[in-house]
Amino acid sequence: MHYQYDVSVIIPARNAEKFLRETLNGLLAQTAVESAKIEICLADDGSVDDTVRILENARIEFEELGMKVTVSHVVQPGGVGAAKDCAVRSSKGRYLCFNDADDVSAPNRIKNQLELARKISKSEDDFIFVGGQFHRLPEGSTTRYTNWANSMNGDKIRNQVYTSHGPTLVAPTWFISRALFEKVGGFRTDIPNGFPEDLDFFYKCLSIPQCNFAKVPEDIVMYRYHPNCASHNVTEQTIWNFRLQRLKEHYIKKWDKFTIWSAGKQGKRFFKNLDEDEKTKVREFCDIDESKIGRGIHEEFDEKERKVTHKVPIVNIENAKPPLVVCVKLDLTHGDLERIIERKGWKEHVDLVYFG
What is the model's pLDDT at position 97?
Answer: 98
Confidence of residue 95 (pLDDT cuts 50, 70, 90): very high
132-172 confidence digits (pLDDT tens): 999 999 998 899 899 999 999 999 999 999 998 889 999 99
Q: How far apart are CA 96 and CA 184, in angstroms?
A: 14
What is the model's pLDDT at position 325?
Answer: 98
**Which of 14-18, 74-78, 287-291, 330-334 shows the lowest mean pLDDT across its residues?**
330-334
First to last CA, the chain: 43
Structural domains of the chain sorted by starting position, each given as residue range(s) with its CATH number in brackets = 5-234 (3.90.550.10), 251-354 (3.40.50)
What CA dihedral angle connects 186, 208, 199 and 136, to 10 degrees?
-100
Q: What is the mean pLDDT of residues 329-344?
A: 81
User: For residues 224 and 217, is the Cβ–Cβ distance under 8 A?
Assistant: no
Contacts of 177 (CB under 8 A, 6+ apart): 94, 95, 96, 117, 121, 126, 127, 128, 129
Q: What's the pTM?
A: 0.93
Q: How far apart are CA 144 and CA 136, in angstroms?
A: 11
What CA dihedral angle connects 9, 10, 12 and 18, to 10 degrees?
-10
Q: What is the mean pLDDT of residues 64-82?
A: 92
Statement: residue 245 has pLDDT above 70 = yes
DSSP string of 187-211, one letter each residue: ---S--SS--HHHHHHHHHHT-TT-
What is the model's pLDDT at position 231?
Answer: 65
